[in-house]
Structures are given as C-alpha cells and as structure tokens.
C-alpha cells in the first residue's frame, strides 16, 4: 500500500525507466529504486533531516548516499526533467 505522497504506479511507469540502476555493492543485492525515490521525496517534501526519514523507506544513509550520488551525476537535474508530464505533488 502506498503512503500519502508516494509515487503512484502511473508515475513510476514513466519515472522508473529514467533512473539509473543501482548495482549491489560488496555482494549486497541492489535495493528497490522506487522505495529509494519515495524516501528521497519524503525527506524533501517534509523537510526533515535524513536521519528522521520514515523507516518504511529503509535506512536513511543508503537513501541519502543515492540522493547525493544522483545529484553529482546530474540525475535529478536532467533525467527527471524529461518526466515533466508526470505530477509528483499528489
């Protein structure tokens, strides 16, 4: 079940293919991109510190690291800009 503000199936169908896949590191399996994105959006929407991110999105540190890495790689500025027709503010 989606929490309020989480990416819907319709939104994910567009956004999911724009995100780079995250390979597991140190023999750990990669986590779900959608859960990470929802965690990032939660922190940005609520304005809480990363450490206070809701636990349903997993541990805060991997979400923060992927957010920071995506920013360094230009993911949030370029790739998601192509998804302008999807409303994330529901």
Distances (CA, A) of 89 to 6, 20, 84: 9, 22, 12
From 7-11, 13-17, 58-62, 63-67, the region with the lowest mean pLDDT: 13-17
Whether the CB-CB separation of 30 and 22 falls below 8 Å is answered with yes
pLDDT at 61: 95
How confident is the model over 11-52, as pLDDT tens digits? Answer: 988 888 887 776 655 545 555 888 999 999 999 999 999 999
Q: Give me the percent of the chain exceeding a pLDDT of 90.
A: 39
Q: Give me the percent of the chain exceeding a pLDDT of 70.
A: 74
- In the chain, domain spans: 1-17+32-90
């Amino acid at each position: 079940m989606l929490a309020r503000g989480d990416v819907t199936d319709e939104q994910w169908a567009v956004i999911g293919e724009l995100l780079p896949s995250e390979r597991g590191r140190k023999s750990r399996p990669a986590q779900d991109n959608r859960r990470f994105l929802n965690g990032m959006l939660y922190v940005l929407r609520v304005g809480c510190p990363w450490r206070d991110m809701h636990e349903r999105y997993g541990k805060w540190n991997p979400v923060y690291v992927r957010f920071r890495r995506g920013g360094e790689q230009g993911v949030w500025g370029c790739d998601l800009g192509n998804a302008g027709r999807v409303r994330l503010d529901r």
